[in-house]
Chains A and B, each alone.
Chain A
Amino acid sequence: MVQPAVELNDVSKTYRTGSIEVPALRGVSLRIVPGEFVATAGPSGSGKTTLLNIIGGLDRADAGEVWVAGQNLQLLSSGELARVRLQRIGFVFQTYNLLPVLTALENTEFTLLLQGVAKHTRRERVQKLFSEIGLAGLENRRPAELSGGQQQRVAVARAMVTEPALILADEPTANLDSATALALLEVMERLNRATGTTFIFSTHDPQVMERAHRLIRLRDGQIASDEARDRQAPVAAAKGGAA
Chain B
Amino acid sequence: MSRRLLQLAWRNLWRNPRRTLIAMAAIALGYAMLLFVACLMAGLRWQMIENGTRLVLSEIQVHAPGYYPKRSIQKTLGGQKGTDVSALLAAISADPQVYAAAPRVYGYGLVSASHGSSAGVALLGVVPDQEPKITVLNTQMVKGSYLSTLAPHRVVVGDKLAGVIGVQVGSEIVLLTQAADGSMGNDLYTVGGIFHTGLDALDRGLVVMPLGSLQELLALTPGRIHEVGIKLHDITEATAVAAGLGVRLSKMLPVAVSAWPELAPDLAAYVQFNRGVTLVLFFIFFLLAVIGIMNTMLMAVFERTRELGMLMALGMRPAQVIGLIMAEAAGLAAASLVLGAALGAPLLWYLQAHGLDVGGATGEVVSVAGVVVGHLWYGRRDFSAYGQAAVGLAATALVSALYPAWRAAHFRPTEAIRKV
Contacts and interface: CB of A to CB of B under 8 A. Distances in A.
B307 A99 contact: yes
Contacts of B414: 53, 58-59
Nearest to A102: B8
Contacts of B310: 93, 97
Contacts of B316: 82, 86, 114
A2 interface: no
Interface in A23-55: 53
A83 B413 CA distance: 14
Given A59-B414, A79-B317, A113 B15 contact: no
Interface in A50-84: 53, 56, 58-59, 78-79, 82-83
Contacts of B307: 97, 99
B4 A106 contact: yes
Interface centre among B11, B307, B417, by most A CB within 10 Å? B417
Interface string B278-311: 0000000000000000000000000000110011
B5 interface: yes
Given A58-B413, A97-B307, A113-B2, A91 B313 contact: yes
A58 B313 contact: yes
Interface in A94-127: 97, 99-102, 106, 109-111, 113-115
A82 B5 CA distance: 18
A110 B8 CA distance: 10
Interface centre among B12, B320, B414, by most A CB within 10 Å? B414
How many of chain A's residues touch chain B, expressed as a range? Answer: 20 to 34
A115 B316 CA distance: 9
Given A106-B4, A114-B315, A97 B306 contact: yes
A190 B14 CA distance: 38
Given A82-B312, A93-B310, A113-B2, A101 B417 contact: no
Given A93-B417, A97-B307, A100-B15, A56 B4 contact: no
Given A100-B15, A101-B11, A113 B312 contact: no
B314 interface: yes
Interface centre among B2, B4, B8, B14, by most A CB within 10 Å? B4
Interface string B322-353: 00000000000000000000000000000000
A222 interface: no
A86 B15 contact: no
B250 to A, nearest CB: 65
Contacts of B4: 106, 109-110, 113
Contacts of B2: 113
A114 B11 contact: no
Nearest to A49: B414
A213 interface: no
Interface residues of B, number: 23
Given A53-B414, A59-B414, A113-B2, A82 B8 contact: no
B5 A85 contact: no
Contacts of A85: 313-315
Contacts of A91: 313-314
Nearest to A142: B11
Contacts of A180: none
A86 B313 CA distance: 8
B11 A102 contact: yes
B204 to A, nearest CB: 72
Given A79-B317, A85-B313, A101 B15 contact: yes
A111 B315 contact: yes
Nearest to A109: B4
Contacts of B320: 114
A3 interface: no
A191 to B, nearest CB: 18
A87 interface: yes
Given A97-B307, A113-B5, A82 B15 contact: no
A35 B150 CA distance: 112
Contacts of A79: 317-318
B318 to A, nearest CB: 8
Contacts of A158: 314
Nearest to B11: A101
B229 to A, nearest CB: 66
B414 to A, nearest CB: 5
Interface in A220-236: none
A106 B10 CA distance: 14
Given A86-B315, A113-B5, 4 more contacts: A82-B312, A87-B315, A99-B311, A158-B314
23 contacts: A58-B414, A78-B318, A82-B312, A82-B316, A82-B317, A82-B318, A83-B315, A85-B314, A86-B314, A93-B310, A93-B417, A97-B310, A99-B8, A101-B12, A101-B14, A101-B15, A102-B11, A106-B4, A109-B4, A113-B2, A113-B4, A113-B5, A115-B315
Interface of B: 2, 4-5, 8, 11-12, 14-15, 306-307, 310-318, 320, 413-414, 417
9 shortest A-B CB distances, which residue pairs?
A: A86-B315, A101-B11, A97-B310, A85-B315, A58-B414, A58-B413, A59-B414, A113-B4, A53-B414
